């Protein structure tokens, strides 16, 4: 079974631009969550999508948005990029949402650099 | 905010030795997951332990969970240079509407295994 894939793997943008990141979950998984990882803040939850609906949202500004398609693939968009948005963006895939048995599997991440 | 705190923050051992990392968390949980991350890459899922389990094994990994102390430990036996990585514990967020997959991560333990 193929793992979680994220594209692109690396991205360089300038302040003020917008960016779209993509995540394809493991086949059969319906939940996709997004996380931001920075040296200062560590791993922080952005949002989760399950069956095309946003289930939960972290404490990030409205510039961060996402969506999920009927095939469970998810995209994350960041508008009006700031220098502080430079980070590793990780998506996690799981079969369902919540519950004590629910393992989440992460992709390799997209390294975003904002200049 | 970080729910979990790993201890120690950094650990350096010789190949063949055992490595023990500890994680403390703050709220009640239904499971706890451990992940490994190699230098700036994605997270690799190691093990999930449910709140009604006290110990779980997977290969050279042994995880314990003490819900009364809100703590968990990860033991890697007979460590290898390839085990050099950062290790994170993650717990599901308690305050979610209708369940969900928000994970709160600890700050991580950087393990270095030297030849």
Q: What are phi and psi of A31, to 5 degrees?
A: -110, 135
Residues B113/B98, Cβ–Cβ less than 8 Å: no
d(Cα B44, Cα B54) in Å, to the nearest integer?
22
So what's the pLDDT on residue B94?
62
Q: What is the pLDDT of residues B24-33, one digit of tens each?
A: 998 888 899 9
Q: What pLDDT is recorded for position B2?
A: 42
Q: Is the pLDDT of residue B96 over 60?
A: no
| CB contact (8 A) between residue B88 and residue A43 | yes
pLDDT at B114: 96
How is residue A85 written in tokens?
A: 């948005």
Q: What angle do CA A67, A52, A50 make, to 5 degrees?
A: 105
Instruction: Name every chain B residue with its beta carbon within 8 A of the beta carbon of A90.
Output: 42-43
Distance from CA of A2 to the nearest CA of B (A): 14
pLDDT at B6: 84
Task: Tell whether B87 is within 8 A of chain A (Cβ).
Answer: no
Mean of per-residue pLDDT scores for chain B: 90
On the question of pLDDT at A3 being above 60, the answer is yes
pLDDT (mean) for B60-65: 98
The beta-carbon neighbor of A103 closest among B33, B100, B102 is B33
pLDDT at B99: 63
- A48 to chain B: which residues are within 8 Å by CB? 100-102
When pLDDT is averaged across residues B62-76 and rounded to a whole number, the result is: 97
Residues paired with A23 in a beta bridge: A6, A74
Confidence grade of residue B101 (pLDDT, cut at 50, 70, 90): confident
A45:B43 CB<8 A = no
Residue B74 scores a pLDDT above 80 = yes
**pLDDT by residue (tens digit) across A87-111?**
999 999 998 887 777 889 999 999 9
User: What average pLDDT does this structure show over B92-113?
Assistant: 80
| Cβ separation A97–B102 shorter than 8 A | no
Return the structure tokens found at B15.
Answer: 């190949």
Q: Do B103 and A58 touch (CB under 8 A)?
A: no
């Amino acid at each position: 079974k193929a793992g979680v894939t994220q594209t692109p793997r690396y991205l360089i943008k300038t302040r003020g631009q917008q960016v779209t990141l993509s995540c394809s979950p493991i086949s059969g998984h319906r939940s996709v969550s997004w996380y931001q990882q920075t040296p200062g803040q560590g791993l922080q939850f952005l949002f989760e999508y399950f069956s095309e609906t946003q289930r939960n949202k972290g404490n990030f500004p409205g510039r961060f948005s996402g969506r999920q398609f009927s095939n469970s693939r998810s995209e994350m968009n960041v508008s009006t990029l700031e220098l502080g948005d430079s980070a590793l963006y990780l998506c996690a895939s799981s079969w369902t949402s919540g519950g004590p048995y629910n393992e989440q599997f992460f992709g390799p991440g997209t390294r975003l650099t904002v200049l | 905010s970080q729910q979990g705190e790993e201890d120690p923050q950094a650990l350096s051992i010789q190949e063949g030795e055992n490595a023990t990392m500890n994680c403390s968390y703050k709220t009640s949980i239904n499971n706890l997951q451990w992940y490994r991350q190699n230098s700036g890459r994605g997270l690799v899922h190691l093990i999930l332990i449910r709140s009604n389990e006290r110990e779980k094994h997977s290969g050279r990994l042994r995880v314990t969970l003490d819900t009364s102390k809100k703590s968990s430990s990860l033991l890697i036996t007979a460590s290898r240079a390839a085990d050099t990585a950062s290790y994170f514990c993650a717990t599901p967020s308690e305050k979610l509407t209708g369940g969900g997959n928000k994970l709160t991560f600890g700050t991580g333990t950087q393990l270095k295994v030297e030849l």
